[in-house]
Amino acid sequence: MQNPWIRPATPDDAAELAELFWRVRSEAVPDIPMVVHPRESVLPFVRNVLLAEFEVHVAQADGRLVGFIALMPPDLVGHLYIDSAHTGKGLGSRFLGLARTRFPHGLQLYAFQSNRRAIRFYERHGFEQVAWSEDDNEEGAPDVLLRWGPRVAGTVAAYDRDARAYAAGLGELTPHLVALLDRFAAALPRPAHVLEVGSGPGRDADALEARGIRVRRTDIARGFVDLVRAQGHEADVLDPLHDDLGGPYDGVYASASLLHVPREDLGTVLRRLGEATVPGGTLHLDVKEGDGDGWSTHGHVSAPRHFTYWREGPLRAELAGAGWSVVHLGHTTGGRDDWIDVLARRD
């Protein structure tokens, strides 16, 4: 048996791809549900959808197609099918390697929950189960969303996709948030120049500027930066872990943004923010209170986002280790999540 070679699909592959798709799906029952459409509909689907809308690569051996993968930017593995005679021989791993090369910042895909063999395969290759549904597909069968890649990259991609929906659902400032803004503003000199980390749609920056503070609006998600620029403001794409932060600033405002920083990186981010701030400068941050970390699909963002939860003791230790002295630390309970808010001063 010839070792399969992988190449881009062409329109001439349509008929053989349709037969491969139908054969693999049929042989996989009952691990996955049977295709709900009649067999004669598969070839038009391959021609008009699969080859037209996806980036398809096929594996060929002994003059026939034995597998294919269908990709869609920025990170979707839409289909991965391998002939039963070639399963368990490394072809799936080669396809995933190709997908990682094409989308190095992360991948996501859906699998039927009943397809335990496929789920184990993806987990061996570093995918995590991040969201589940009962019947959100045309087969009406439970499925699972799996994601591979840096946690931050997956979260950024989620915000980029739904930046407008997030902005539309953000709502007005609550009295609690107004009090946090007032406390931060009162701790700053006048005039003051502040770095905002995670501006989102720009609501809080507008409120700070209404209090006489000049704000540099930044976000790691380009979707938010584009929204803020469309409002007539300057804004920058900025990753606080890696990018040049500029400065020095009189303060840093990071509301509901550093909760996406992995636990092992928060100390580095806090130290870098301190280095970009004048001595005695002020930091505001708030994070979700709790233990561990995880993916969530709540709110107005449809794709999963990764959150790191913090308790007071470890958070104080990270701040102190990065050169920040806590001036005030508060706890807010109620609603969907509990929160910790911090006002700190650079040593």
Output the pTM of the full model: 0.66
- Angle formed by the axes of helices 203-210 and 175-186, nearest 10°: 50
pLDDT value at position 145?
93
pLDDT tens digits, 90-132: 999 999 999 988 987 789 999 999 999 999 999 888 888 888 9
The Cα–Cα gap between 149 and 126 comes to 8
pLDDT at residue number 297: 81
Contact in structure between 182 and 144 (CB atoms under 8 Å): no
Confidence of residue 298 (pLDDT cuts 50, 70, 90): confident
pLDDT of res. 1: 66
The yes-or-no verdict on residue 87 having pLDDT over 70 is yes
Q: Indicate the DSSP class of residue 259.
A: G
| Nearest CA-CA partner of 326 in 309, 305, 343 | 343
Q: Is the pLDDT of residue 68 over 90?
A: yes
Q: Specify the length of the chain in residues.
A: 347
pLDDT, tens digit (0-9, with 9 covering 90-100), for 143-188:
999 988 777 878 998 899 999 999 999 989 999 999 999 999 999 9
pLDDT value for 193 = 98
Domains and CATH numbers, the chain: 5-149 (3.40.630.30), 159-346 (3.40.50.150)
Give residue-wise pLDDT tens across range 201-241: 999 999 999 999 999 999 999 999 999 999 999 999 999 98
Closest Cα to residue 80, out of 11, 1, 146?
146
pLDDT of residue 39: 95
Provide the percentage of residues in the chain whose pLDDT is more than 90. 79
Q: Is the pLDDT of residue 137 over 90?
A: no
pLDDT (tens digit per residue) in 328-346: 999 999 678 999 999 999 9
Q: Check pLDDT > 80 for residue 2.
A: no
Of residues 254, 266, 253, the one with CA closest to residue 311: 266
Contact by Cβ (8 Å): 14, 46: yes
